[in-house]
Structure 1
Amino acid sequence: MSLGWMGKNRVFVEKLVKFGNAYANSYKKEYPYNTSFQFSAAQIQVLEYILENEDKNQNMLEIANRLGISKSAFSKNVKKMVDKGLLEKYHTSENKKNIIIKATQAGKEVYEQYAKYAYEKSFKEIFSLLDEIPEQYVEKMEEILDIAAKATSEKAKQEKEVTLIRIEE
């Protein structure tokens, strides 16, 4: 069967799918990433976002939404990282239901070790290639990735809606 509808973009779509599959396969698996802790890509993303926005005191739902993950997935990752001593939970004085997450000193140190490892292992080469591309083209790639993420997210929402309809029948 011909996949002609993709035209000249077939190789690009293939590479995007290959990356998505590789990332999905490793997203929840825990690795040491050259540190003394085991954590997953999902957990490091949570830690990274918390460190990057620590002055904003965002609650768990705000952070989960920003990362594009469910509140329950976010909560599971936070719990694992609290248990490892990398994150701490706080209540705000005005609302005990409002939980703020902060990185511990150990969390900050582990992130620094991870960042050095990740940079040398893959991002150094990626950034070097991005430096060769004019900024407007990099922005177009960012748009493409946003569209792909949105399409994937919409598909997941549609599947949930179908599941809900089937349960009500």
Structure 2
Amino acid sequence: MELQWLGAHRPLIEDLFYWSNVYASGHKKRFPLTAEISLSASEIQVVEYLLENEELQLNMAGVARRLGVSPVSFTNLVSRLEELGLVEKYYREGDRKSLIVLVTARGREIYGIYSRKLQRLWEKDVLSVLDEIPEEYQQKFRQVLRGLSVTNKTEKRAGRPLTPAKEKE
């Protein structure tokens, strides 16, 4: 079996796989942020994205697409956040089909708690190391991550979807 195809990139790819496996195993697990609010990584990512891109006021399908999650998953995430009072849904004026989601004052408060906790946690091992990497190299790495994302969804470069193993039999 040929295992050399990654060449010198094997250690980095192995670390990416390790990280993605650790993340995948816990991204739906909820962590307490306050006595009454616990959120998963997926839920907090929705709040974070909405805050960072508030001025765009994308519809729900647009946000789901930008986050790389299915519309159904995104709808479920938003429903939970809405139940907690962290987001509210609105229709864009004059367009009853375009449902947008905005973060509430409570959502901003909870996100502030989260971001301060994560900043303390990541300060030494993540943020300070990223500070040492020039912007041009960070952009290249982002390009690699996007390439991995495309590869995992479909073989877009070849123009055909991956065939599930059961269909090959």
- TM-score bracket, shorter-length normalisation: 0.7 to 0.9
After TM superposition, what 4+ stretches of structure 1 lie above 3 angstroms from structure 2?
A: 33-36
AA at the equivalent of 1:130: L
Following superposition, the deviation at residue 135 of structure 1 comes to 2.4
Aligned to 2:89, the other structure's residue is in SS state strand
| Aligned equivalent of 2:161 | 158
Instruction: Kindly report the root-mean-square deviation, in angstroms, between the aligned alpha carbons of the 2 structures.
Output: 2.3
The equivalent residue for 2:83 is 83
Q: Say if 2:131 is the partner of 1:128.
A: no
More strand by share: 2
CA contact (8 A) 1:35 1:113 kept: no
Change (3 A) 1:93 1:140: closer
May I ask how many residue pairs the two structures share in their alignment?
163
Q: CA 1:5 to 1:71, structure 2 compared with 1: closer, same or farther past 3 Å?
A: same
Provide TM-score, normalisation by structure 2: 0.86
Aligned-residue identity in percent: 35
Greater helix fraction, Structure 1 or Structure 2: 1
Contact preservation (8 Å) 2:88, 2:104: yes
3-state SS, counterpart of residue 128 of structure 2: helix
**Bigger mean CA deviation after superposition, 139-148 or 107-116:** 139-148
**Counterpart code for 2:67:** L
Deviates more, 1:64-73 or 1:146-155: 146-155
- Structure 1's unaligned 5+ residue stretches are none
Q: Work out whether 1:11 is the aligned partner of 2:11.
A: yes
Unaligned runs of 5+ in 2: none
Greater relative CO, 1 or 2 (CA 8 Å, sep 6+): 1
TM-score (norm. length: structure 1): 0.86
